[in-house]
Structure 1
């Protein structure tokens, strides 16, 4: 099965993890989660920008790991994924997870959100987490939801 086409813009407002996120890996991780062709911008930000965006668009005054701004689900998935480097670094350390694996999970998670997946309700969460686990295992990473 061929992977969907991907147009990717990769931006580093916070460059601390640039070496962990080469374009070919980021594209591979996103493509694994894409079900249709995609046009995605991935922006790695610091805590201040992450917190400002989370407050402005979700009304939550803290930086979060990944924000997904989805604009279309089909025929082309169009979205911006904003990932906060400091939050990813902290959460990966707290989970005892390799930081690159954690980034892969956040990219998969955000890409699924960009396609309409959600986790607000229990049944939605079970579906989304199951899909994330399947993708992460397929990429050679551990199940992000096993402890």
Structure 2
């Protein structure tokens, strides 16, 4: 049997996505609560790893840490709900059109601005206390949830919710964080507490 040298692989190389995470703190109490930029970046990277894009890209996301007053204003302005919430996601104009996909019109090397994830301290801290989980775990979950929204995922019906929850579980497990939808945490009620995409 002759050896003609290496043969081209028929396996596809997975797309790679470099992710830059910018953290903006509108409320200094976040730092006092031990929420670090590194933790937020890890959560965003975990979300991207659980739902990798189909195209190589350089992605950017901003995580804004704020308070209930500011998120209430955003929620009223963008969703018509005059109440604070835990997290809002604001996709940029460059948002991918389908879940997990980076638009093919974006040339390689050009940054894809995914958008902003805004998290309110008081609501998030109250939820973590109610669930008896570390604040850092709940914040990581909200970052993952918000990042998946920015990647085009949603939970408008049971099938979408199941897919998104599975991706959240996968991302959080990679961070060593327990399943937020386990039997001792009501699955749909917990997800209902997560704000919709704005």
Structure 2: runs of 5+ lacking an equivalent:
1-13, 97-101, 104-111, 185-198
CA deviation profile, 1:105-139 (whole Å, cap 9, x unmatched):
00000000000110111110011011101111111
2:17 matched to which residue of 1? 4
Contact 1:105–1:132 (CA<8 Å) still a contact in 2? yes
TM-score, normalised on structure 1? 0.92
Is 1:18 paired with 2:31? yes
Structure 1: runs of 5+ lacking an equivalent:
none
The alpha-carbon distance between structure 1 residues 3 and 143, as it changes in their structure 2 partners (threshold 3 A), is farther
2:175 matched to which residue of 1? 139
TM-score, normalised on structure 2? 0.70
- Higher RCO, 1 vs 2 (CA within 8 Å, ≥6 residues apart): 2
1:28 matched to which residue of 2? 42
The aligned runs of 1:117-136 (5 Å cut-off) are 117-136=153-172
Match of 2:138 among 82, 102, 112: 102
Of structures 1 and 2, the larger Rg is shown by: 2
Displacement of 1:59: 0.7
Q: How large is the RMSD of aligned CA atoms in angstroms?
A: 1.7
C-alpha distance in structure 2 between counterparts of 1:31 and 1:77, whole Å: 15
SS in structure 2 opposite 1:142? Answer: coil
Contact 1:40–1:78 (CA<8 Å) still a contact in 2? yes
Structure with the higher helix share, 1 or 2: 1
- What is the aligned residue count? 147
